């Protein structure tokens, strides 16, 4: 038997038992994925509400989570009264459900920007569960619901968790209500760094510069050396927010630290934002 005959048999076996089955498998897999793509339909907000209403325990909170994500897209937010009324009814009922359902529903309501949900979320501030209370605070801030101001001010008290107090500070900063300025000023000396920082930002949003020195500090990398509890990710986040504030509420007091960040900072995202801010807001080129 010649070498050519042996080679021919080897190739025949290779094609018959390996290559051809492999090709058939790949074609089958490709057909399956194409079919899935062509027939896939994204669940609508109404579908998720139905799952929250009649789904199993696990499915209810997962549907609420997906709904809260979906409503982050302004174009996907229903504005019909039927949907809104059902959202409110299910949120009210969720007080007896898994706290995750109530939490994600509160966030979904807040992300709509529709003030009709405000009164229901005010009831959420009375929850015994601190996690669902926290979600209601954040949602009211997203809605900029003016009737919530006096209720949110109560959460600035030290008897509440730092998470709730911080959320209340941020929410009040969104309200465009100058009556909260005295309350926020008292927090510039709070023991919690994050509360001091966000109180200064909230005051700037309300046109009060009492906390401008705090913003200056946040633009200085060495300032964060004092806080061992702040990790690098939180530090970068705080600096980026501070730079954004200097863009929205310009002051020459920020320029020195912005220049330093723009030229020397180790984080390229910070450097880029500082450069753009100096160029567009302060007319200074790097």
34-92 tens-digit pLDDT: 444 333 346 899 999 999 999 999 999 999 999 999 999 989 999 899 999 999 999 99
Q: Is 256 a domain residue? A: yes
C-alpha closest to that of 243 among 261, 268, 231:
261
Q: Is 35 a domain residue? A: yes
| Higher per-residue pLDDT: 183 or 228 | 183
The pLDDT of residue 285 is: 83
What is the spatial distance between Cα 105 and Cα 87, in angstroms, rounded to a whole number? 8
**What is residue 73's DSSP assignment?**
S
**What is residue 16's DSSP assignment?**
I
Under 8 Å between Cβ of 124 and 106: yes
Q: How many other C-beta atoms lie within 10 A of the C-beta of residue 166? A: 24
The pLDDT of residue 228 is: 86
Q: Is 200 a domain residue? A: no
What is the spatial distance between Cα 177 and Cα 29, in angstroms, rounded to a whole number? 59
Q: Is 21 a domain residue? A: yes
Q: Is 262 a domain residue? A: yes
Q: Is 280 a domain residue? A: yes
Q: Helix, strand or coil for residue 262?
A: helix
Q: Is 271 a domain residue? A: yes
Boundaries of domain holding 25: 1-40
Helices (H), 128-254: 130-143, 149-153, 162-173, 181-186, 193-205, 212-218, 232-248
Q: What is the pLDDT of residues 103-157, one digit of tens each?
A: 999 999 999 999 999 999 999 999 999 999 999 999 999 999 999 999 999 999 9
Q: Is 47 a domain residue? A: no
Per the structure, how many domains does the chain have?
2
């Amino acid at each position: 038997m010649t070498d050519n005959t042996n080679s021919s048999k080897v190739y025949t076996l290779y094609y018959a038992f390996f290559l051809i089955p492999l090709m058939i498998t790949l074609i089958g897999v490709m057909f399956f994925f194409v079919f899935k793509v062509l027939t896939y339909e994204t669940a609508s907000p109404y579908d998720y509400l139905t799952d929250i209403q009649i789904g199993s325990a696990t499915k209810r909170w997962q549907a609420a989570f997906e709904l809260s994500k979906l409503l982050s897209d302004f174009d996907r937010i229903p504005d019909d009264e039927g949907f809104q009324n059902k959202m409110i009814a299910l949120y009210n009922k969720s007080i007896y459900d898994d706290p995750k359902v109530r939490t994600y529903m509160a966030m979904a309501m807040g992300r709509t920007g529709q003030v009709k949900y405000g009164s229901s979320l005010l009831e959420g501030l009375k929850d015994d569960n601190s996690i669902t209370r926290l979600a209601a605070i954040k949602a009211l801030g997203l809605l900029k619901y003016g009737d919530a101001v006096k209720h949110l001010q109560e959460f600035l008290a030290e008897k509440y968790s730092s998470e709730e107090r911080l959320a209340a500070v941020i929410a009040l900063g969104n309200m465009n209500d100058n009556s909260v300025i005295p309350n926020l000023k008292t927090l510039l000396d709070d023991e919690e760094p994050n509360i001091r920082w966000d109180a200064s930002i909230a005051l700037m949003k309300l046109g009060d510069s009492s906390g401008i020195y705090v913003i200056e500090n946040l633009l200085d990398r060495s300032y964060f050396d004092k806080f061992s509890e702040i990790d690098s990710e939180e530090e970068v986040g705080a600096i980026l927010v501070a730079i954004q504030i200097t863009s929205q509420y310009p002051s020459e007091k920020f320029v020195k630290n912005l220049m330093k960040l723009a030229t020397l900072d180790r984080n390229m995202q910070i450097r880029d934002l500082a450069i753009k801010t100096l160029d567009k807001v302060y007319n200074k080129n790097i």
